[in-house]
Amino acid sequence: MSNYAGRVYIPIGYYGVAKIGIVMAKPYIHAKSSARRFGGKPEEYMEIHQLLDSSKGTIADNRHRALTHNSFFLSVIIEKIFGVTITNSDGKEVSTREVAEQHVLEDYGGKFIPTAQDFLQGIPFEPWMNNGKDGYPPSFKIMEKKEKETIIIIKNDDVDAIDKTTEENIKKMRSMTYD
């Protein structure tokens, strides 16, 4: 064990370190951890860690991790966005996937990297998920209640404004299909 900035870290092998008793929360903290593990400067890893935590803007609790903290996102999306490797300022070639895996492992106390299935199987299947055939998602219902005057629909870079003040226009909007 080593002590860093008053916190105890326990090595967990290949993936770096896990914090005991505290939560990894800020991208910069993850970036500093990446710089310690892979070399270079924290700033060189910030974009990866910011992307992983960007889903906090959708929901402000740990459910945000369902979008980015899973093996699918780490193995497919991270490498498509950042490339398979980056070269840090020490001249070392670093796997972007390993940087992202380290982030997720730190967030889960070094225990595991969940799959997308782990998150998705916990979500009840709702009728609207079946190609929109029956019902509407909760966000649509909220939008429908909040928006009283106009709703904007974007279709293939065209914007159609629909006056929502009459029931007839609401029916038109619901009957529109988009490819």
User: Is the pLDDT score of 59 beyond 60?
Assistant: yes
Report pLDDT digits (tens) over 116-161: 999 999 999 999 999 988 888 888 866 555 555 555 555 555 445 5
Which residues fall within 8 angstroms of residue 10, CB to CB, at 6 or more apart?
Answer: 1, 17, 18, 20, 110
- pLDDT, residue 173, reads 62
- pLDDT, residue 148, reads 52
Q: What string of DSSP letters covers 26-90? A: -HHHHHHHHHHHH-S-GGGTHHHHHHHHGGGGT-SSGGGHHHHSSHHIIIIIHHHHH-SEEE-TT
User: Is the pLDDT score of 78 beyond 60?
Assistant: yes
Question: How much is the mean pLDDT over the chain?
Answer: 78
Under a CB-based contact definition with an 8 Å cutoff, are residues 33 and 16 in contact?
A: yes
* Cα–Cα dist 61/150, whole Å: 31
* Cα–Cα dist 39/92, whole Å: 7
* Cα–Cα dist 101/139, whole Å: 31
The residue among 30 and 163 whose pLDDT is bigger is: 30
Report the predicted TM-score, pTM, of the whole model to 2 decimal places.
0.66
First to last CA, the chain: 56
User: Is the pLDDT score of 56 beyond 50?
Assistant: yes
Provide the residue type at 27 as one letter. P
